[in-house]
Amino acid sequence: MKKALLFALTSFLSVHLTAQTGTEFWVAPPDVTVRHNNPGDEPIFLNVTTGNAPAVVTVSQPANPAFNGGTPIVLNVPANSAVRHNMTALKAQLETRPTNTVRNTGLLVQSTADITCYYESSNTNNPDILALKGANGLGYEFYIPLHKHAPFHNHDFMPHANDLAFASFDIVATENNTTVLIYSPVDVDGHAALTPFTVYLDRGETYSCANTVPATHDDPSTHPSGAVVLSNKPVAVSIKDDSNHNPSGGCYDLMLDQIVPVDILGTDYVAVKGQLNNGGDESLFIMAVQNNTQVYVDGNPTPVATLFAGQYYRHDMDYLNSSADNSAYVSASKPVYAIHVTGFGCEQGMAILPPLNCAGSTQLSFTRSTSEPFYLNLLVRSGSQNDFVVNGPGTATIPGSAFQAVPGTGGAWLAAQIQYNTTQVPVNQAF
C-alpha cells in the first residue's frame, strides 16, 4: 500500500534545542527490504536544514575510504534553507547488511553550523525518516524499545529469504577500539537468547542485530525488544521495523528512528494523537530501564503497570479524538523510553518522544518533502500558545485556539495538531 508520510514535529518552547540540532551526527543506515514495491529500498535521501547561519556540511564514511569514490560529499547550504541530497547511487555502501556482521557503513555528517538532519528511505510505498539525534544520540547504555505487538507483524516476502522485512537495531561506533556488549531476551542471528555476546568495532564500523530466520522473522514475539547494548565508548543506535502491518487495513509500512541512551531519558511524556483509523491500535510504548518502574496515565495516582528493565507497557490511544482530547500524558517513577506508533488511515510510522524535561526550543526549522498529508504537532507550556510565529514561503499560521489542555497536567501543558495544505506549507521549501 502507498504510505502517506506523517511529519510529526514536536516542539517545546524553552531555552534551546538539544534533541536534533547540532554539528555532528552518526548513523548506521538501515537495511530496508527491496521487495516492497521493488526496488523498495530506494530512493535514499539525506536531508539537511539550516537555521540562521549558512553551513558547509560534509558527509563521509570513516571506516570506508572508498565511499563516494574516495571523496566525501560536501553540501553548501545557505541560511534558513534545506537540501535534500539524493544518495541512492551509494545504496550498496550505505545499508547495514547482513546482520551479525561487522560492516563499514557508518555515516558521519559534520557541519560548520547547527543543522537538523535526517536520513530518508523514500520508496513511494514504504517510506520513513530516521531523525538523527546528534550529541544526544551518543552514549554507553541503551535498551531497545521495539514492540512485540502481534497486530503490527512484518510482511512476509518469502520465498525471498535474502530480502526479508524484519525488525532490527543497528549500532555505529564513533571511536576506535569500541567494545559493545549485547544481551538479547530472544534469539538473534548467531546468538542464543539470554546469552551476552561482544562485538568489537572501530570508528565508523557498524553492526546490525535481528532475528532473520525465515520461519519466524515476521512474528513480533521474536523482535529483540528489551535487548541491552553496553559500550565502553560512545555509540549511536537506531531501530527499524520494516513493512509493519496495521490492523485497520491492508497497509504495511517501514518504521524507523534513532534512539537515545538511558541517561537522556525522562519520566514524563506527552503523545499527541495522530490520524490512524479506528481500530488502528495507535500506541504509546513505555519501556523501563530499571526494575520496579511504575507507569501512570493522565495523572491517575494508580499505576497501570509495574515493569522490570526491558519490559514495556502499551497504552492504546484509539479512544482519543484528534479534534478533542487530543493527547495522552504518561509518567513513570523512573526514567523510561516512550515510542509513539501513529500515522493516518492504516499508514503508520514510529518516533521516540522527548521527555517533558527536554530543554526544548524557541526556534524550529523543518522542510516538507512530499505533497502528501502534513501535520504539525506542538506541545507548549500554558501561556505561550499565542506566541508562535511562522517564517517561510507559505501562508501557515499557528493559532492559539488550536491548542487543548493535556489531561493530567493541571493545565500546565497544551497540545495541538494542525494540518497544512501545500499552499500553507509548500513542498521542498525550508521553514
What is the domain partition of the chain in residue ranges? 21-420
pLDDT of residue 18: 34
**What amino acid occupies position 276?**
L
What is the DSSP code string of 15-80? S---SSEEEEEEE------S-TTSSTT--EEEEEEE-SS-EEEEEE-TT-TTGGGGS-EEEEE-TT
pLDDT above 90 coverage of the chain, percent? 74
Structure confidence at residue 47 (pLDDT): 92
Is the pLDDT at 4 greater than 90? The verdict is no
Provide the pLDDT for residue 241: 97
pLDDT-derived band of residue 359, with 50, 70 and 90 as boundaries?
low
Q: pLDDT averaged over the chain?
A: 91
Q: What's the mean pLDDT in 183-192? A: 98
Helices (H), 213-339: none
pLDDT, residue 322, reads: 64
User: Given pLDDT bands bounded at 50, 70 and 90, which one contains residue 12?
Assistant: very low
Q: Which pLDDT score, from 0 to 100, does residue 10 have?
A: 39
Contact (CB, 8 A) for 167 and 240: yes
CA separation for the pair 408, 413 (Å, rounded): 9
Pairing outcome for strands 275-276 and 327-345: parallel
User: Which of 26-30, 138-142, 234-238, 272-276 is least confident?
Assistant: 272-276
pLDDT of residue 360: 63
Joined grid coordinates for residue 382 = 500554558
Could you tell me the strand order of the sheet in which 374-381 lies? 374-381, 413-420, 404-405
Spatial separation of the C-alpha atoms in residues 191 and 394, rounded to whole Å:
52
pTM score: 0.93
41-95 pLDDT, tens digit per residue, is 889 999 998 988 999 999 999 999 999 999 999 999 999 888 999 999 999 999 9
Tens-place pLDDT, residues 391-408: 888 899 999 999 999 999
Residue 183 has a pLDDT of 99
For 176-180, what is the mean pLDDT?
99
- CB neighbour list of residue 316: distance below 8 Å, 6 or more residues apart: 281, 282, 283
pLDDT, tens digit, 9 for 90 and up, residues 194-232: 999 999 999 999 999 999 999 999 999 999 999 999 999
Q: Is the pLDDT of residue 100 over 70?
A: yes
Name the band, by pLDDT with cuts 50, 70 and 90, for residue 37: confident
Q: How many of the other CB atoms lie within 10 Å of CB of 308?
A: 11
Per-residue pLDDT reduced to its tens digit, 318-341 = 999 766 789 999 999 999 999 999
Q: Are strands 82-86 and 178-183 parallel, antiparallel or unpaired?
A: unpaired
Q: Which amino acid is at 8?
A: A
Per-residue pLDDT at 160: 80
User: Which of 378, 374, 266 is closest to 11 using CA atoms?
Assistant: 378
Convert the pLDDT of each residue in 243-286 to its tens digit: 899 999 889 999 999 999 999 999 999 999 988 999 999 999 99
